[in-house]
Amino acid sequence: MRVVLAEDSAVLREGMVRLLELRGHQVQAAVGDGDELVAAVEELVPDVVVTDVRMPPGHTDEGLRAALECRRRRPGLPVLVFSQYVENRIARDLVAGSAAGVGYLLKDRVADSAEFLDALERVAAGGTALDPEVVAQLVRHGRDAVAELTPRELQVLAAMAEGLSNAAIATRLAIGERAVEKHVAGIFTTLDLPPGAAENRRVVAVLRYLRR
């Protein structure tokens, strides 16, 4: 897998490069600011981007804005945001077009390198990987079909937004996997996502959940 990495801390950047290479991935570029990220993606066309949020020169939201620009230029480009901060408004923009291939993890909540790498590979494959805290801050309850979901279905959908499988959701909620399957089916029915839909129904359901 070809990766472009943006991280302003040289020490962390070098460590992440080594970690990715040990996993067998190719780090095409490791840069320290948003402008360099956009330029590298344009030139190298990676399989996935990993970026921090706060980078030079302003140390506010340059990395996230750069990720948006990369997705604008290359629609569908998988992006994993890896940061200490949640930037709500721009993060919503990141998933506004499609939640497929989008991740947002908080550095201090990732338990180990395996969790990070698994999330990155899931995002690169078109899935989602969203920290529960990020999900909580992004969710906006509107008067649409999502508001008609039961509390348990909302719990299941929130876990789906994190990229969890049915088995992992069952473990988290302490219910059977068949019960999770029933809740997922109920979510699809309520959101009017029929089995024959061309899109990945899990991704579409998550996108509706995260929209304003």
Secondary structure of 8-61 in HEC code, one letter for each residue: CCHHHHHHHHHHHHHCCCEEEEEECCHHHHHHHHHHHCCCEEEECCCCCCCCCC
| Residue % of the chain over a pLDDT of 70 | 91
In this prediction the pTM is: 0.69
Q: Is the pLDDT of residue 81 over 90?
A: yes
Instruction: Assess whether 131 and 147 both reside in one domain.
Output: no
**Residue pLDDT, tens place only, 85-110:** 887 767 777 776 566 799 999 998 88
Instruction: Assess whether 174 and 78 both reside in one domain.
Output: no
Proportion of the chain in helix, strand, coil states, percent, rounded to 5: 55, 15, 35
Instruction: Assess whether 13 and 95 both reside in one domain.
Output: yes
Note the pLDDT of residue 212: 42
Higher-confidence position of 201 and 63: 63
Residue 35's alpha-carbon distances to 13, 41, 64, 84, in angstroms, are: 16, 10, 11, 20
Instruction: Assess whether 132 and 61 both reside in one domain.
Output: yes
Q: Is the pLDDT of residue 155 over 90?
A: yes
3-state secondary structure of 197: coil
Both tokens assigned to 120 = 């990155």
Of 80, 115, 138, the one marking the end of a domain is 138
Note the pLDDT of residue 128: 86
What is the tally of structural domains in the chain? Answer: 2
Worst-scoring range by mean pLDDT, 27-31, 75-79, 133-137, 183-187?
133-137
Q: Is the pLDDT of residue 145 over 80?
A: no
Of 105, 138, 171, the one marking the end of a domain is 138
Instruction: Assess whether 190 and 119 both reside in one domain.
Output: no
Distance CA 212, CA 207 (A): 10
Of 138, 168, 191, the one marking the end of a domain is 138
pLDDT band at 196 (very low <50, low <70, confident <90, very high): low
Distance CA 79, CA 123 (A): 7
Note the pLDDT of residue 199: 54
The sheet with strand 2-6 has its strands ordered as 26-31, 2-6, 48-51, 79-83, 102-106, 128-130
Cβ–Cβ under 8 Å, residues 123 and 101: yes
Instruction: Assess whether 77 and 105 both reside in one domain.
Output: yes
Q: Residue 185's domain is classified under what CATH number?
A: 1.10.10.10
Domain that holds residue 41: 1-138
Higher-confidence position of 33 and 191: 33
Strand partners, 104: 81, 130
Distance CA 140, CA 153 (A): 16
Q: How many residues does the chain have?
A: 212
Instruction: Assess whether 145 and 211 both reside in one domain.
Output: yes
Instruction: Assess whether 95 and 158 both reside in one domain.
Output: no
Cβ–Cβ under 8 Å, residues 120 and 80: yes
Instruction: Assess whether 162 and 101 both reside in one domain.
Output: no
Preceding omega of 57 cis (within 30 degrees of 0): yes
Instruction: Assess whether 147 and 134 both reside in one domain.
Output: no
Number of neighbours of residue 178 by Cβ within 10 angstroms:
10
Strand partners, 105: 82
Instruction: Assess whether 159 and 117 both reside in one domain.
Output: no
Instruction: Assess whether 130 and 144 both reside in one domain.
Output: no
Both tokens assigned to 39 = 């330029």
